[in-house]
Amino acid sequence: MRIEELSGILDRQLSSEERDEERLKHLRQATGQITRSANDGIQAYRRVSQALRAEAQHADADALEVADATRALAEARARMLTALEAASRRYPWAEPWGTPPAE
Question: Which tens digit of pLDDT belongs to each residue from 29-81?
Answer: 988 999 999 999 999 999 999 999 999 999 999 999 999 999 999 999 999 99
Note whether residue 73 is domain-resident: yes
Note whether residue 79 is domain-resident: yes
In this prediction, residue 79 carries a pLDDT of 92
Is the distance from CB of 13 to CB of 37 less than 8 angstroms?
no
Among the listed residues 23, 32, 2, 31, the one whose alpha carbon sits nearest the alpha carbon of residue 94: 31
Residues 6+ apart with CB under 8 A from 90: 10, 27, 30, 31
Note whether residue 94 is domain-resident: no
- Per the structure, the count of domains in the chain is 1
Burial-class residue 37 by CB neighbours within 10 Å (0-12, 13-18, 19+).
Answer: buried
Note whether residue 103 is domain-resident: no
For the chain, give percent helix, strand, coil, nearest 5.
Answer: 75, 0, 25
Residue 6 sits in which domain range? 2-88
Note whether residue 95 is domain-resident: no
Note whether residue 28 is domain-resident: yes
In this prediction, residue 96 carries a pLDDT of 62
Note whether residue 84 is domain-resident: yes
Note whether residue 96 is domain-resident: no
Is the distance from CB of 5 to CB of 33 less than 8 angstroms?
no
In this prediction, residue 85 carries a pLDDT of 85
